[in-house]
Structure 1
């Protein structure tokens, strides 16, 4: 819960800082977007045009990791927002304004092929960047945490399910196989939210946003995140075609992709891991952080799982859990994925 007085004080600081940086006492500031974390983004309009302020409140968000990552990516040719001014102790950054809607708002059935081709090109630039020493790892600990989100926040907190031994063992076996598959893939720079919502449709882009949490991770993670988005869905046949297109481009660029059939399985399994994690994460955002709107998109994860789980009998424990317990529990609610207040 925010403090209105603190919000007003922070707003006044933000406006004063913007006017000082831009040399315009009449500059105005309005909300541009809000992050799932504590960062927020504000559009300021002045005699110098339009710019974006990143507001990372001290003690709540540190903008330095974002800045370090931005420098690394820009130095290797990835299109990211330009930084025009900064005051780190105050938690303010002045950025170029990349325009209005994200790629998620621009994509449609007619232009998706062209935009995804460009997004694949940018992704290959990202994945080709050498990993610095000591770079974070999307390893066992993060995978275990993601698995725990699904059980604690979706199954238990949201649905009120307590699994019997057979169901719990089936889920644990499927989760273990998903984790082993992720750990067994080639590991390279991974965004973990490389999706249209975090891409801006600029002429020399798309430009990449929300990159501060990049890690060393599985090669299939970002491609499947791009085409099986948390907020935008496509027919499975188109997704499979785009994955094949990415695979060909990655192979041509010298990235360590396995044969196409293996890559397709890796992408499917990586998608399953991500989708069950998102079900838990979105429930946590609702119940812990009072951000319930994320659950509006949760039903698409059920659809993703329905599409792909039947391909893989090795994950039958998860499929049976979804069919025999999760779906009936959802139907017992007043509305699918309704959340309590």
Structure 2
């Protein structure tokens, strides 16, 4: 059986990048890994290594890349591909992630976030790609169940009872029922997946990195993903200004959009708390636990919406906050 290092060598040779030097780039929570290639003739590129034997499939990424480029959005151009083996050679957007630039003298946070919101306004009006799956009530529920499957048992030390599961499922379904499915949502639209490309113009200044899980859903989802960032603090003033900017530029009804925003923020933050617990317990990655308090704070803000009061009451009664002690308990269960 040919190992992946040999397959990479073969792929780079076929793409005529076999003389490039390679340096590892920071990965993510998936099984994908990335190397930066530097070649004296071709310049720089990024190698995506997505092992199919570990459940990775680059075809959705390729499909969405081509669609985003067709919409005038800065996705990395594909320089070479081996879809069967799980390799892509991608345009290199550099290192200027929003998460790195914000708060430094090199960038204006408001300028960056305004451009990112403008991308979402543009996306909401774009004709969706063929065969894109819907972000429907069943998907919202399945994702939210990560809380009762992973976080709640680890945080309390007790299995989630069938009665609690049924109550939670009913509340989530009622909250998310009827949300529109009329826009492409990229689903991981936040500061560590957006790159600043100031030499470009308009919405093309915002480089996209992680969008292979895109679905057809409500446009508020990506906005709340951006503004209620799980990994960096965004001030209430920035959140309000960017929310209002989206409403003004898109022409949506503010009251209806606000309810969808709070509902999807609730669903997303519940899901993320469950994902971070799973990353610790199943995958041995406790580093994500440190972000839980921030996500919990976002969740509490979303739950202030009167339409979510029943769910807020249920969570207050049954789900402990991710305090230091709770995080230690989860980390201990993951060993």
CA displacement at 1:140 relative to structure 2: 2.1
> 2:223 aligns to what?
223
Match of 1:134 among 123, 126, 131: 131
Residue 188 to residue 171, structure 1, CA distance change in 2 (3 Å): same
Secondary structure at the aligned position of 1:310 is classed as coil
Whole-Å Cα distance in 1 between the matches of residues 139 and 47 of structure 2?
A: 31
Match of 2:269 among 270, 275, 279: 275
Secondary structure at the aligned position of 2:192 is classed as helix
Report how many residues are paired.
325
> 2:295 aligns to what?
301
Secondary structure at the aligned position of 2:103 is classed as coil
In 1, are the aligned partners of 2:286 and 2:331 still within 8 Å (CA)? no
Which deviates further from its counterpart, 84-93 or 169-178?
Answer: 169-178
Secondary structure at the aligned position of 1:193 is classed as coil
Secondary structure at the aligned position of 1:53 is classed as strand
- What stretches of structure 2 of length at least 5 have no aligned partner? none
Matched, 1:34 2:27: yes
In 2, are the aligned partners of 1:41 and 1:53 still within 8 Å (CA)? yes
> 1:194 aligns to what?
189
> 1:100 aligns to what?
95
In 2, are the aligned partners of 1:77 and 1:125 still within 8 Å (CA)? no
TM-score, normalized by length of structure 1?
Answer: 0.85
Render the CA deviation track for 1:263-314: whole Å, top value 9, x for unaligned.
12221121011100111111122222223222221111111122332342x4
Q: Give the superposed CA RMSD.
A: 2.7
CA displacement at 1:24 relative to structure 2: 5.2
Residue 320 to residue 83, structure 1, CA distance change in 2 (3 Å): same
Residue 83 to residue 321, structure 1, CA distance change in 2 (3 Å): same
> 2:63 aligns to what?
68
In 1, are the aligned partners of 2:21 and 2:39 still within 8 Å (CA)? yes
Secondary structure at the aligned position of 1:196 is classed as coil
Whole-Å Cα distance in 2 between the matches of residues 318 and 73 of structure 1?
A: 36
Whole-Å Cα distance in 1 between the matches of residues 184 and 155 of structure 2?
A: 33
Residue 147 to residue 23, structure 1, CA distance change in 2 (3 Å): closer
> 2:145 aligns to what?
148
- What stretches of structure 1 of length at least 5 have no aligned partner? 252-256
Whole-Å Cα distance in 2 between the matches of residues 329 and 309 of structure 1?
A: 16
Match of 1:320 among 309, 313, 321: 313
> 1:206 aligns to what?
206
Secondary structure at the aligned position of 1:234 is classed as coil
Whole-Å Cα distance in 2 between the matches of residues 239 and 115 of structure 1?
A: 13
Whole-Å Cα distance in 1 between the matches of residues 59 and 210 of structure 2?
A: 13
Whole-Å Cα distance in 2 between the matches of residues 328 and 84 of structure 1?
A: 46
> 1:286 aligns to what?
280
Matched, 1:125 2:122: yes
Whole-Å Cα distance in 1 between the matches of residues 53 and 327 of structure 2?
A: 40
Which deviates further from its counterpart, 199-208 or 104-113?
Answer: 104-113
Secondary structure at the aligned position of 1:54 is classed as strand
Match of 2:48 among 51, 54, 75: 54
Render the CA deviation track for 1:97-155: whole Å, top value 9, x for unaligned.
11014212112287221001111122222222212343201112211201211111111
In 1, are the aligned partners of 2:155 and 2:320 still within 8 Å (CA)? no
Secondary structure at the aligned position of 1:80 is classed as coil
Whole-Å Cα distance in 2 between the matches of residues 52 and 87 of structure 1?
A: 14
In 2, are the aligned partners of 1:43 and 1:50 still within 8 Å (CA)? yes
Secondary structure at the aligned position of 2:303 is classed as helix
Residue 292 to residue 11, structure 1, CA distance change in 2 (3 Å): farther
